[in-house]
Chain A
Protein backbone atom coordinates (compact mmCIF):
# COMPACT_ATOMS: atom_id res chain seq x y z
CA UNK A 1 0.00 0.00 0.00
CA UNK A 2 2.92 2.34 0.79
CA UNK A 3 6.57 2.49 -0.11
CA UNK A 4 9.05 0.65 2.08
CA UNK A 5 10.80 3.79 3.36
CA UNK A 6 7.62 5.70 4.12
CA UNK A 7 6.22 2.77 6.11
CA UNK A 8 9.49 2.66 8.11
CA UNK A 9 9.05 6.38 8.87
CA UNK A 10 5.46 5.77 10.00
CA UNK A 11 6.49 2.74 12.06
CA UNK A 12 9.35 4.36 13.99
CA UNK A 13 7.55 7.71 14.12
CA UNK A 14 4.46 6.24 15.76
CA UNK A 15 6.51 4.29 18.32
CA UNK A 16 8.56 7.39 19.16
CA UNK A 17 5.57 9.73 19.40
CA UNK A 18 3.40 7.38 21.46
CA UNK A 19 6.28 6.66 23.86
CA UNK A 20 6.90 10.39 24.21
CA UNK A 21 3.20 11.08 24.84
CA UNK A 22 3.05 8.22 27.33
CA UNK A 23 5.99 9.58 29.34
CA UNK A 24 5.14 13.27 29.05
CA UNK A 25 1.43 12.77 29.57
CA UNK A 26 1.96 10.83 32.78
CA UNK A 27 5.05 12.58 34.16
CA UNK A 28 4.38 16.31 33.73
CA UNK A 29 3.16 17.55 37.13
CA UNK A 30 -0.07 19.43 37.75
CA UNK A 31 0.03 22.90 39.21
CA UNK A 32 -2.66 25.34 40.35
CA UNK A 33 -0.98 28.22 38.51
CA UNK A 34 1.27 26.85 35.79
CA UNK A 35 4.42 28.95 35.30
CA UNK A 36 6.41 26.98 32.75
CA UNK A 37 5.74 24.69 29.84
CA UNK A 38 6.43 21.69 32.03
CA UNK A 39 3.35 22.14 34.21
CA UNK A 40 -0.27 21.30 33.46
CA UNK A 41 -3.09 23.38 34.94
CA UNK A 42 -5.49 21.68 37.33
CA UNK A 43 -8.92 21.22 35.75
CA UNK A 44 -11.51 21.30 38.55
CA UNK A 45 -13.21 17.93 38.91
CA UNK A 46 -10.73 16.13 36.67
CA UNK A 47 -7.25 16.70 38.19
CA UNK A 48 -4.99 13.74 37.33
CA UNK A 49 -7.82 12.04 35.55
CA UNK A 50 -7.49 14.67 32.79
CA UNK A 51 -4.43 12.75 31.56
CA UNK A 52 -6.77 10.25 29.96
CA UNK A 53 -7.35 12.93 27.30
CA UNK A 54 -4.00 11.97 25.72
CA UNK A 55 -4.94 8.30 25.33
CA UNK A 56 -8.68 7.80 25.34
CA UNK A 57 -9.60 10.53 22.85
CA UNK A 58 -6.94 9.57 20.24
CA UNK A 59 -8.07 5.93 20.48
CA UNK A 60 -11.69 6.87 19.81
CA UNK A 61 -10.53 9.17 17.03
CA UNK A 62 -8.55 6.34 15.42
CA UNK A 63 -11.56 4.04 15.69
CA UNK A 64 -13.67 6.56 13.75
CA UNK A 65 -10.87 7.08 11.19
CA UNK A 66 -10.66 3.31 10.73
CA UNK A 67 -14.38 3.25 10.15
CA UNK A 68 -14.25 5.88 7.45
CA UNK A 69 -11.22 4.23 5.80
CA UNK A 70 -13.21 1.00 5.72
CA UNK A 71 -16.21 2.77 4.14
CA UNK A 72 -14.04 4.62 1.58
CA UNK A 73 -12.33 1.40 0.49
CA UNK A 74 -15.78 -0.20 0.36
CA UNK A 75 -16.78 2.47 -2.18
CA UNK A 76 -13.51 1.93 -4.06
CA UNK A 77 -14.16 -1.81 -4.17
CA UNK A 78 -17.67 -1.35 -5.58
CA UNK A 79 -16.34 0.94 -8.29
CA UNK A 80 -13.43 -1.25 -9.38
CA UNK A 81 -14.27 -4.80 -8.13
CA UNK A 82 -10.59 -5.06 -7.18
CA UNK A 83 -10.30 -7.59 -4.34
CA UNK A 84 -7.31 -5.71 -2.86
CA UNK A 85 -9.61 -2.86 -1.88
CA UNK A 86 -11.87 -5.31 -0.07
CA UNK A 87 -8.80 -6.57 1.77
CA UNK A 88 -7.98 -3.01 2.90
CA UNK A 89 -11.61 -2.40 3.89
CA UNK A 90 -11.84 -5.51 6.07
CA UNK A 91 -8.39 -4.95 7.61
CA UNK A 92 -9.39 -1.43 8.55
CA UNK A 93 -12.65 -2.66 10.07
CA UNK A 94 -10.73 -5.15 12.20
CA UNK A 95 -8.42 -2.41 13.46
CA UNK A 96 -11.43 -0.18 14.10
CA UNK A 97 -12.79 -2.92 16.34
CA UNK A 98 -9.46 -3.07 18.20
CA UNK A 99 -9.34 0.69 18.76
CA UNK A 100 -13.02 0.82 19.79
CA UNK A 101 -12.33 -1.84 22.40
CA UNK A 102 -9.30 0.14 23.64
CA UNK A 103 -11.35 3.35 23.78
CA UNK A 104 -14.15 1.55 25.63
CA UNK A 105 -11.73 0.13 28.21
CA UNK A 106 -9.90 3.41 28.85
CA UNK A 107 -13.24 5.21 28.96
CA UNK A 108 -14.75 2.72 31.41
CA UNK A 109 -11.71 2.89 33.70
CA UNK A 110 -11.90 6.68 33.62
CA UNK A 111 -15.64 6.55 34.31
CA UNK A 112 -15.04 4.28 37.32
CA UNK A 113 -12.92 6.95 39.00
CA UNK A 114 -14.72 10.01 37.72
CA UNK A 115 -18.37 8.97 37.77
CA UNK A 116 -18.19 6.05 40.22
CA UNK A 117 -19.13 3.20 37.89
CA UNK A 118 -17.52 1.46 34.95
CA UNK A 119 -20.67 1.66 32.88
CA UNK A 120 -23.74 3.84 33.25
CA UNK A 121 -25.13 4.16 29.69
CA UNK A 122 -24.02 7.72 29.19
CA UNK A 123 -24.85 8.78 25.59
CA UNK A 124 -21.13 8.49 24.72
CA UNK A 125 -20.93 5.00 26.16
CA UNK A 126 -24.05 4.05 24.24
CA UNK A 127 -22.53 5.31 21.00
CA UNK A 128 -19.21 3.44 21.44
CA UNK A 129 -21.22 0.33 22.29
CA UNK A 130 -23.16 0.71 19.03
CA UNK A 131 -19.86 1.14 17.15
CA UNK A 132 -18.74 -2.20 18.59
CA UNK A 133 -22.05 -3.73 17.53
CA UNK A 134 -21.63 -2.43 13.98
CA UNK A 135 -18.21 -4.08 13.68
CA UNK A 136 -19.65 -7.28 15.17
CA UNK A 137 -22.51 -7.26 12.67
CA UNK A 138 -20.07 -6.56 9.83
CA UNK A 139 -18.00 -9.64 10.63
CA UNK A 140 -21.15 -11.73 11.22
CA UNK A 141 -22.34 -10.74 7.74
CA UNK A 142 -18.99 -11.65 6.21
CA UNK A 143 -19.02 -15.09 7.76
CA UNK A 144 -22.55 -15.72 6.47
CA UNK A 145 -21.59 -15.47 2.78
CA UNK A 146 -19.57 -18.17 1.04
CA UNK A 147 -18.75 -16.67 -2.35
CA UNK A 148 -15.73 -14.39 -2.11
CA UNK A 149 -16.96 -11.85 -4.64
CA UNK A 150 -20.45 -11.65 -3.11
CA UNK A 151 -19.02 -11.37 0.40
CA UNK A 152 -16.82 -8.47 -0.65
CA UNK A 153 -19.69 -6.73 -2.45
CA UNK A 154 -22.33 -7.05 0.29
CA UNK A 155 -20.00 -6.23 3.16
CA UNK A 156 -18.80 -3.16 1.24
CA UNK A 157 -22.43 -2.03 1.02
CA UNK A 158 -22.90 -2.64 4.74
CA UNK A 159 -19.77 -0.74 5.71
CA UNK A 160 -20.87 2.21 3.54
CA UNK A 161 -24.35 2.24 5.11
CA UNK A 162 -23.04 2.00 8.64
CA UNK A 163 -20.44 4.65 7.80
CA UNK A 164 -23.39 6.93 7.04
CA UNK A 165 -24.83 6.48 10.53
CA UNK A 166 -21.51 6.95 12.35
CA UNK A 167 -21.72 10.78 12.26
CA UNK A 168 -25.12 10.54 13.98
CA UNK A 169 -23.71 8.30 16.69
CA UNK A 170 -20.41 10.05 17.27
CA UNK A 171 -20.93 13.69 16.42
CA UNK A 172 -24.65 14.46 16.75
CA UNK A 173 -26.52 12.41 19.33
CA UNK A 174 -24.04 12.63 22.27
CA UNK A 175 -23.93 16.41 21.92
CA UNK A 176 -27.70 16.81 21.83
CA UNK A 177 -28.45 14.63 24.82
CA UNK A 178 -27.78 15.36 28.46
CA UNK A 179 -24.91 13.29 29.81
CA UNK A 180 -21.83 13.29 32.01
CA UNK A 181 -19.23 12.96 29.27
CA UNK A 182 -17.39 16.20 28.46
CA UNK A 183 -19.11 17.93 25.55
CA UNK A 184 -22.62 16.65 26.30
CA UNK A 185 -25.64 18.93 26.46
CA UNK A 186 -25.59 20.98 29.66
CA UNK A 187 -21.80 20.76 30.14
CA UNK A 188 -20.67 24.13 31.52
CA UNK A 189 -17.58 24.17 29.28
CA UNK A 190 -19.96 24.18 26.32
CA UNK A 191 -21.06 21.70 23.68
CA UNK A 192 -18.39 20.16 21.51
CA UNK A 193 -15.05 18.47 22.02
CA UNK A 194 -13.25 19.17 25.32
CA UNK A 195 -9.91 19.85 23.65
CA UNK A 196 -11.35 22.85 21.81
CA UNK A 197 -12.48 24.61 24.99
CA UNK A 198 -10.27 27.07 26.84
CA UNK A 199 -10.04 24.69 29.81
CA UNK A 200 -7.17 22.96 28.05
CA UNK A 201 -3.82 24.73 28.26
CA UNK A 202 -1.74 25.13 25.14
CA UNK A 203 0.94 22.65 26.25
CA UNK A 204 -1.76 20.03 26.83
CA UNK A 205 -3.16 20.82 23.42
CA UNK A 206 0.24 20.32 21.75
CA UNK A 207 0.66 16.97 23.47
CA UNK A 208 -2.90 16.02 22.55
CA UNK A 209 -2.46 16.75 18.85
CA UNK A 210 0.89 14.95 18.92
CA UNK A 211 -0.91 11.95 20.40
CA UNK A 212 -3.56 12.10 17.66
CA UNK A 213 -0.77 12.05 15.08
CA UNK A 214 1.00 9.19 16.86
CA UNK A 215 -2.08 7.00 17.09
CA UNK A 216 -3.05 7.72 13.48
CA UNK A 217 0.44 6.72 12.34
CA UNK A 218 0.20 3.60 14.51
CA UNK A 219 -3.07 2.78 12.75
CA UNK A 220 -1.46 3.24 9.32
CA UNK A 221 1.40 0.93 10.28
CA UNK A 222 -0.91 -1.78 11.61
CA UNK A 223 -3.18 -1.43 8.58
CA UNK A 224 -0.21 -1.92 6.29
CA UNK A 225 0.82 -5.07 8.18
CA UNK A 226 -2.67 -6.54 8.06
CA UNK A 227 -3.15 -5.72 4.39
CA UNK A 228 0.10 -7.49 3.53
CA UNK A 229 -0.89 -10.51 5.63
CA UNK A 230 -4.30 -10.54 3.93
CA UNK A 231 -2.67 -10.46 0.49
CA UNK A 232 -0.51 -13.46 1.37
CA UNK A 233 -3.58 -15.36 2.54
CA UNK A 234 -5.36 -14.56 -0.72
CA UNK A 235 -2.36 -15.80 -2.72
CA UNK A 236 -2.26 -18.98 -0.70
CA UNK A 237 -5.97 -19.55 -1.32
CA UNK A 238 -5.58 -18.96 -5.03
CA UNK A 239 -2.61 -21.28 -5.38
CA UNK A 240 -4.73 -23.93 -3.65
CA UNK A 241 -2.45 -24.85 -0.74
Chain B
Protein backbone atom coordinates (compact mmCIF):
# COMPACT_ATOMS: atom_id res chain seq x y z
CA UNK B 1 0.00 0.00 0.00
CA UNK B 2 1.74 3.19 -1.06
CA UNK B 3 1.66 6.41 0.97
CA UNK B 4 -0.59 8.25 -1.43
CA UNK B 5 -3.25 5.58 -1.30
CA UNK B 6 -3.15 5.23 2.48
CA UNK B 7 -3.28 9.02 2.87
CA UNK B 8 -6.46 8.94 0.83
CA UNK B 9 -7.77 6.07 2.95
CA UNK B 10 -7.16 8.01 6.19
CA UNK B 11 -8.93 11.04 4.74
CA UNK B 12 -11.86 8.87 3.66
CA UNK B 13 -12.04 7.19 7.07
CA UNK B 14 -12.11 10.56 8.84
CA UNK B 15 -14.72 11.92 6.46
CA UNK B 16 -16.92 8.85 6.98
CA UNK B 17 -16.70 8.91 10.75
CA UNK B 18 -17.40 12.65 10.66
CA UNK B 19 -20.46 12.13 8.46
CA UNK B 20 -21.69 9.50 10.89
CA UNK B 21 -21.53 11.66 14.02
CA UNK B 22 -21.33 15.16 12.46
CA UNK B 23 -19.62 16.24 15.67
CA UNK B 24 -17.14 18.73 14.20
CA UNK B 25 -19.52 20.15 11.58
CA UNK B 26 -22.32 20.68 14.09
CA UNK B 27 -20.02 22.28 16.63
CA UNK B 28 -18.47 24.54 14.00
CA UNK B 29 -21.78 25.66 12.48
CA UNK B 30 -23.29 26.44 15.87
CA UNK B 31 -20.15 28.25 16.98
CA UNK B 32 -19.98 30.40 13.85
CA UNK B 33 -23.65 31.34 13.95
CA UNK B 34 -23.48 32.19 17.67
CA UNK B 35 -20.33 34.27 17.28
CA UNK B 36 -21.66 36.24 14.30
CA UNK B 37 -24.98 36.93 16.03
CA UNK B 38 -23.28 38.11 19.23
CA UNK B 39 -21.14 40.53 17.22
CA UNK B 40 -24.18 41.71 15.29
CA UNK B 41 -26.16 42.28 18.52
CA UNK B 42 -23.28 44.31 19.89
CA UNK B 43 -22.73 46.61 16.93
CA UNK B 44 -26.39 46.85 15.81
CA UNK B 45 -26.67 49.60 13.21
CA UNK B 46 -23.07 50.81 13.48
CA UNK B 47 -21.00 50.64 10.29
CA UNK B 48 -17.61 49.25 11.29
CA UNK B 49 -14.57 49.96 9.10
CA UNK B 50 -13.12 47.30 6.84
CA UNK B 51 -10.17 46.82 9.24
CA UNK B 52 -12.56 46.07 12.11
CA UNK B 53 -14.62 43.71 9.94
CA UNK B 54 -11.60 41.76 8.73
CA UNK B 55 -10.41 41.54 12.33
CA UNK B 56 -13.79 40.17 13.43
CA UNK B 57 -13.76 37.74 10.51
CA UNK B 58 -10.43 36.22 11.55
CA UNK B 59 -11.34 36.21 15.25
CA UNK B 60 -14.38 34.08 14.42
CA UNK B 61 -12.29 31.86 12.10
CA UNK B 62 -9.61 31.37 14.78
CA UNK B 63 -11.92 30.44 17.62
CA UNK B 64 -14.13 28.28 15.41
CA UNK B 65 -11.04 26.41 14.23
CA UNK B 66 -9.94 26.00 17.84
CA UNK B 67 -13.28 24.48 18.78
CA UNK B 68 -13.42 21.97 15.93
CA UNK B 69 -10.03 21.08 14.49
CA UNK B 70 -8.54 19.25 17.47
CA UNK B 71 -11.23 16.61 16.99
CA UNK B 72 -9.24 14.61 14.42
CA UNK B 73 -6.65 13.43 16.92
CA UNK B 74 -8.54 13.79 20.20
CA UNK B 75 -11.27 11.41 18.95
CA UNK B 76 -8.66 8.77 18.09
CA UNK B 77 -7.37 8.91 21.66
CA UNK B 78 -10.83 8.96 23.21
CA UNK B 79 -12.08 6.01 21.21
CA UNK B 80 -8.80 4.18 21.74
CA UNK B 81 -8.24 3.72 18.02
CA UNK B 82 -4.85 5.41 17.74
CA UNK B 83 -2.95 2.15 18.31
CA UNK B 84 -4.83 0.45 15.46
CA UNK B 85 -4.18 3.39 13.20
CA UNK B 86 -0.49 3.22 14.06
CA UNK B 87 -0.48 -0.42 12.97
CA UNK B 88 -2.28 -0.01 9.65
CA UNK B 89 -0.89 3.27 8.34
CA UNK B 90 2.53 4.91 8.20
CA UNK B 91 2.93 8.15 10.22
CA UNK B 92 3.29 10.27 7.09
CA UNK B 93 0.05 8.83 5.68
CA UNK B 94 -1.74 9.59 8.96
CA UNK B 95 -0.31 13.11 9.05
CA UNK B 96 -1.22 14.01 5.48
CA UNK B 97 -4.61 12.29 5.72
CA UNK B 98 -5.53 14.24 8.85
CA UNK B 99 -4.07 17.41 7.33
CA UNK B 100 -6.20 17.04 4.18
CA UNK B 101 -9.27 16.43 6.29
CA UNK B 102 -8.58 19.55 8.33
CA UNK B 103 -7.93 21.60 5.18
CA UNK B 104 -11.29 20.53 3.75
CA UNK B 105 -12.97 21.33 7.06
CA UNK B 106 -11.30 24.76 7.32
CA UNK B 107 -12.23 25.63 3.74
CA UNK B 108 -15.85 24.72 4.41
CA UNK B 109 -15.72 26.69 7.65
CA UNK B 110 -14.30 29.77 5.96
CA UNK B 111 -16.85 29.65 3.15
CA UNK B 112 -19.64 29.44 5.73
CA UNK B 113 -18.22 32.39 7.68
CA UNK B 114 -17.83 34.43 4.48
CA UNK B 115 -21.44 33.83 3.47
CA UNK B 116 -22.66 34.57 6.98
CA UNK B 117 -20.64 37.80 7.25
CA UNK B 118 -21.86 38.97 3.85
CA UNK B 119 -25.45 38.39 4.94
CA UNK B 120 -25.20 39.75 8.48
CA UNK B 121 -22.89 42.76 8.04
CA UNK B 122 -23.84 45.27 5.34
CA UNK B 123 -20.27 46.67 5.39
CA UNK B 124 -18.70 43.30 4.59
CA UNK B 125 -18.49 43.57 0.81
CA UNK B 126 -15.54 41.91 -0.92
CA UNK B 127 -14.36 44.43 -3.52
CA UNK B 128 -11.33 42.55 -4.84
CA UNK B 129 -12.50 39.00 -5.11
CA UNK B 130 -9.14 37.54 -6.21
CA UNK B 131 -7.26 38.85 -3.16
CA UNK B 132 -9.93 37.57 -0.81
CA UNK B 133 -10.10 34.14 -2.44
CA UNK B 134 -6.33 33.63 -2.43
CA UNK B 135 -5.98 34.91 1.14
CA UNK B 136 -8.70 32.64 2.48
CA UNK B 137 -7.33 29.67 0.53
CA UNK B 138 -3.73 30.13 1.73
CA UNK B 139 -4.73 30.97 5.30
CA UNK B 140 -6.99 27.92 5.49
CA UNK B 141 -4.11 25.68 4.50
CA UNK B 142 -1.77 27.35 7.01
CA UNK B 143 -4.38 27.27 9.77
CA UNK B 144 -5.15 23.60 9.12
CA UNK B 145 -1.45 22.73 9.06
CA UNK B 146 -0.68 24.33 12.42
CA UNK B 147 -3.91 23.01 13.97
CA UNK B 148 -3.18 19.46 12.86
CA UNK B 149 0.23 19.13 14.50
CA UNK B 150 -0.95 20.91 17.65
CA UNK B 151 -4.01 18.64 17.80
CA UNK B 152 -1.64 15.69 17.72
CA UNK B 153 0.29 17.18 20.66
CA UNK B 154 -2.82 18.12 22.61
CA UNK B 155 -4.37 14.66 22.20
CA UNK B 156 -1.54 13.27 24.36
CA UNK B 157 -1.82 15.93 27.09
CA UNK B 158 -4.12 15.89 30.11
CA UNK B 159 -6.09 19.10 29.61
CA UNK B 160 -7.20 18.89 26.02
CA UNK B 161 -9.73 21.69 25.68
CA UNK B 162 -8.19 24.74 27.30
CA UNK B 163 -4.60 24.25 26.25
CA UNK B 164 -5.30 24.09 22.52
CA UNK B 165 -5.96 27.81 21.81
CA UNK B 166 -3.15 28.73 24.24
CA UNK B 167 -0.65 26.69 22.23
CA UNK B 168 -2.04 27.67 18.84
CA UNK B 169 -2.36 31.42 19.25
CA UNK B 170 1.32 32.43 19.36
CA UNK B 171 2.19 30.12 16.47
CA UNK B 172 -0.75 31.26 14.35
CA UNK B 173 -0.32 34.98 14.97
CA UNK B 174 2.01 35.67 11.99
CA UNK B 175 -0.59 33.99 9.78
CA UNK B 176 -3.55 35.79 11.34
CA UNK B 177 -1.91 39.23 11.22
CA UNK B 178 -1.04 38.75 7.55
CA UNK B 179 -4.47 37.40 6.68
CA UNK B 180 -6.14 40.35 8.40
CA UNK B 181 -4.07 42.85 6.45
CA UNK B 182 -4.78 41.12 3.14
CA UNK B 183 -8.50 40.88 3.93
CA UNK B 184 -8.61 44.59 4.72
CA UNK B 185 -7.05 45.25 1.31
CA UNK B 186 -9.67 43.02 -0.34
CA UNK B 187 -12.52 44.83 1.44
CA UNK B 188 -11.06 48.23 0.54
CA UNK B 189 -10.93 47.26 -3.12
CA UNK B 190 -7.17 47.56 -3.55
CA UNK B 191 -5.86 45.84 -6.71
CA UNK B 192 -4.82 42.19 -6.54
CA UNK B 193 -1.07 42.88 -6.77
CA UNK B 194 -1.04 45.16 -3.72
CA UNK B 195 -1.16 42.19 -1.38
CA UNK B 196 1.87 40.46 -2.95
CA UNK B 197 3.88 40.73 0.30
CA UNK B 198 1.07 39.04 2.20
CA UNK B 199 0.96 36.14 -0.25
CA UNK B 200 4.70 35.71 0.13
CA UNK B 201 4.46 35.55 3.92
CA UNK B 202 1.50 33.15 3.79
CA UNK B 203 3.16 30.81 1.30
CA UNK B 204 6.46 30.71 3.20
CA UNK B 205 4.57 30.19 6.48
CA UNK B 206 2.69 27.21 5.00
CA UNK B 207 5.87 25.65 3.64
CA UNK B 208 7.84 26.11 6.87
CA UNK B 209 5.09 24.83 9.18
CA UNK B 210 4.05 21.90 7.00
CA UNK B 211 7.62 20.73 6.43
CA UNK B 212 8.45 21.13 10.14
CA UNK B 213 5.29 19.30 11.23
CA UNK B 214 5.96 16.46 8.80
CA UNK B 215 9.49 16.06 10.21
CA UNK B 216 8.46 15.98 13.88
CA UNK B 217 5.14 14.16 13.50
CA UNK B 218 6.70 10.72 14.06
CA UNK B 219 7.78 11.71 17.56
CA UNK B 220 4.34 12.97 18.53
CA UNK B 221 2.37 10.11 17.03
CA UNK B 222 4.32 7.07 18.24
CA UNK B 223 4.11 6.32 21.95
Contacts and interface: CB of A to CB of B under 8 A. Distances in A.
Interface of A: 78, 126, 130-131, 133-134, 136-137, 140-141, 144-146, 150, 153-154, 156-158, 160-162, 164-165, 168-169, 172-173, 176-177
Contacts of B167: 137, 140-141, 158
11 contacts: A133-B169, A144-B159, A145-B158, A154-B153, A154-B156, A157-B219, A160-B212, A161-B149, A173-B201, A176-B201, A177-B181
B42 interface: no
A145 B213 contact: no
B177 A173 contact: yes
Interface residues of B, number: 30
Nearest to B216: A157
B201 A168 contact: yes
B209 A137 contact: no
B174 A141 contact: no
Most chain B CB within 10 A, of A150, A153, A177, is at A153
Given A154-B153, A157-B153, A176-B201, A169 B159 contact: no
B201 A145 contact: no
Interface in B135-190: 146, 149-150, 153, 156-159, 163, 166-167, 169-171, 173-174, 177-178, 181
Nearest to A151: B157
B173 A169 contact: yes
B134 interface: no
A140 B212 CA distance: 22
A185 to B, nearest CB: 10
Given A154-B153, A157-B153, A162 B171 contact: yes
